[in-house]
Amino acid sequence: MSRKALASNQLTAVAWLRLLFVATLAVAVVLTPGFLSAPSLLTLLTTVSFVGCVAVGMTFITLSGNIMSFSLGATVAACAVTFVAVLNAAGPLAGIVAALTVGGLLSGAQGAIIGGLRANPIIVSIAALALIQGGLNFITGNATTNANPGAGHEVLRGKLLGLPIEFVVLLILVVLGQSILTWTTFGRHIYFVGSGVRAAEAVGLRVGWIVTGAYFWAGLFSAVAGVLLGLRYNQANMEYGFGYDYDAIAAILVGGTAIQGGQGSVFRTFAGVIFIATIQVLLLLHGFRQEWQYLIAGIIVLLVVMLQTTGRRHV
Amino acid sequence: MTAIARGFVAPKNRPYLFLSGTVFFLTMLDWNGGRFLTSATAFSVLQTFATLGPAALGLGMTMLVREFDLSIAGVFGLAGCVAVLTGGESAWLGLLFGILTGAAFGSVQGMIITSLGLPSIAVTLGGLLIGVGMAFVLTESQSIVYGNMDLALRLNERIATVFSLRSLVTAATFVVAAIVLGFTRIGRDMVALGSDRRSAEIVGLNVKALLIGAFICSGALAAGSGALLSYSLTSAAPSGLSDVLVPAAAAAILGGVSLSGGTGTPAGIAAGVLTLAVMRAGLNAIGAPPYAHDLAMGAILLAVAVLDAPRFGQNLGRLLNRQ
């Protein structure tokens, strides 16, 4: 069998396996008593939304060929603190604007360094993580900022069309993110840069601006997660968003977006988020303790990553 | 003049420059205060070195061959739990089991990466989550106590004023690594592999064995330091994503290991770890607020990232030529 035929056989096999996975999951969901009950579903949808927003943002970074960021979780915390502080001072709208500004700037600045100077994305994001954490500690003194009652943000809580507002926001972000990637020139340029920086340079794309843009959007989407956390818990501190970076990249990989960049979509990331969360809830309902969550998530990531192999070496 | 300046910022000399700069700067800050240049600070520096050093060394080995082992954060915590759970009768047995767990993680991940040709970040992310998860499952999310208080005291007992058994073991590990990488063929093969994988394959290096070996080292080293830390704290807890990955990566990067492979030495990594340790202990000693360490580390890392960025040199050159 020729190599090409082998590769395409492998691809169909992977597609079938994926279908089998999803079908099994669907059957398990239907057969599990209590899964389709409203409270259980609503909790699931709320909890996935926070990480979901970050994952949608991180997708931009991964697609642009910059692997992942270690600083989006800290960005979430910074934005949540900003939101609550400004909310107390000037109301919800100003709070949201301030949080989005902080998120966009923090992440966009990293993008400018990474895209403009071609600095290593991992090192820059680790440096940014340390700087953001240090800065937050300096500003908040490691204390929790509480939202004043009656600051006017209570309106933004509750349900919309029977869904938790967090999940509605996530759905909007997914559609927005995918629209940017599919229908704008900027979006297609992200794929192009992610597939090969050299080629993108050669055809005259402004790589620096495109990467900056990708990071800027990642920051904005993470800021939304910060705002949602502030709204939900009525307070914010440095611990918010801890570990979201890893959960987000796990969802991206499980969705099938290539870690090397240039291939994938926000829809896939959304599917990854839902897939992991569904399995975790299923296990919980079947009596597995909470402790198994990380283990199961890890096994899923490993399996999915192994299924994606094309036998070719990517570095 | 520029040659000297270039020598200073050359990646090869940079770790030592950072280390001496940090020591100098803190000495200045503490001028005549008598708080920084003390044996207590030196001891505390070496204790941090003992905890962070092996993990940074292991991660550095994988970076040297142009891979990246995210799983050390999971393995570090898991090995601590394994060592405490199995070390009830004999501490050595527990340590052995802890290190074997780490080595097993490394070898399985290495084999998956080499045999399927997968990117290491993706595979080791799975390993990271599995390691964290196993620690939670093994301990049932509880903090577990290690009864052998004598061992804990012995591990942290001061030897020659500033050392402890733990820091001496770590120092010995670095010496062994420096000898193996500096004077044997394995070291040169790893540099060759990290610099140019295709060429390394073509000239007939055993690429798979080297890669798997790097991951085994990384897993075993992280596990060893995790196990020893748990012993010396007489407890282990599934800490989730333990705080070891980011400082270990920072130490390796400050130590002159490049993420694009092929550069870095154990001596440099040791200098990188010591820089972070001196910063942490020194800033603590002179009473700096807790955020000072984060800000200083972030600023230095950012400087490294910018200095190493390919476009930075070009832009700087263009700027200088214009004048």
pLDDT at position A312, please? 46
A contact test, residue of B71, B72, B128, B130 with most A CBs within 10 A: B130
Q: Please check whether residue B25 lies inside any domain of the structure.
A: yes
- Length of chain B (residues): 323
Q: Is B312 inside a domain boundary?
A: no
Domain range for B29: 12-305
Residue A4 domain-assigned? no
What is the predicted pLDDT for the residue at A313?
Answer: 43
Q: Based on the structure, what is the number of domains in chain B?
A: 1
pLDDT for A116: 92
Go through chain A and tell me how many residues it has.
315
Comparing CB atoms, the residue among A130, A290, A302 nearest residue B126 is A302
pLDDT at A10: 65
Q: In degrees to the nearest 10, what's the CA dihedral of A66, A219, A236, A225? A: -90
The per-residue pLDDT for A15 is 74
Structurally, chain A folds into a number of domains equal to: 1
Does B322 reside within a domain?
Answer: no
Interface predicted TM-score of the whole assembly (ipTM), two decimals = 0.90
Cβ burial, residue A226 (10 Å; 0-12/13-18/19+)? buried
Please tell me the predicted confidence (pLDDT) of residue B241: 61
Interface contact B104, partner A, CB < 8 A: no
Domain that holds residue A213: 45-304
Whether A315 maps to a domain, the answer reads no
**Chain A residues within an 8 Å CB radius of B304:** 123, 127
In a domain, residue A229? The reply is: yes
Task: Flag whether B321 is in a domain.
Answer: no
pTM for the structure as a whole: 0.91
Predicted confidence at residue A1, as pLDDT, reads 45
Q: Which residues, 6+ apart, have CB-to-CB distance to B31 below 8 Å?
A: none
Which of the residues in chain B have pLDDT under 50? 1
- CA angle in degrees (0–180, nearest 5) for B244-B245-B251: 90
pLDDT of residue A83: 95
Taking CA–CA distances from B291, the nearest residue in chain A reads A134
Q: What is the CATH number of the domain that holds A85?
A: 1.10.3470
Model confidence pLDDT, tens digit, residues B192-248 = 999 999 999 999 899 999 999 999 999 999 999 899 989 888 888 877 666 788 899
**3-class SS letters over chain B:** CHHHHHHHHCCCCHHHHHHHHHHHHHHHHCCCCCCCCCHHHHHHHHHHHHHHHHHHHHHHHHHHCCCCCCCHHHHHHHHHHHHHHHCCCCHHHHHHHHHHHHHHHHHHHHHHHHHHCCCHHHHHHHHHHHHHHHHHHHHCCCCEECCCHHHHHHHHCCECCCECHHHHHHHHHHHHHHHHHHHCHHHHHHHHHHHCHHHHHHCCCCHHHHHHHHHHHHHHHHHHHHHHHHHHHCEECCCCCCCCHHHHHHHHHHCCCCCCCCCCCHHHHHHHHHHHHHHHHHHHHCCCCCHHHHHHHHHHHHHHHHHHCHHHHHHHHHHHHHC
pLDDT tens digits for A202-257? 999 999 999 999 999 999 999 999 999 999 898 999 989 888 999 999 999 999 89
- Going from the C-alpha of B4 to that of each of B10, B13, B305, the distances in angstroms are 10, 11, 21
**pLDDT in the model for residue B240:** 60
Residue B314 is assigned to a structural domain of this protein: no
At A290, list the tokens: 């909470």
B1, part of any domain: no
Q: What is the CATH number of the domain that holds B64?
A: 1.10.3470
Predicted pLDDT at B157: 84
In a domain, B310, yes or no: no
* Spans in chain A with pLDDT lower than 70: 1-11, 38, 309-315
Show which of residues 32-71 on chain B sit within 8 Å of chain A, judged by CB atoms.
Answer: 66, 68
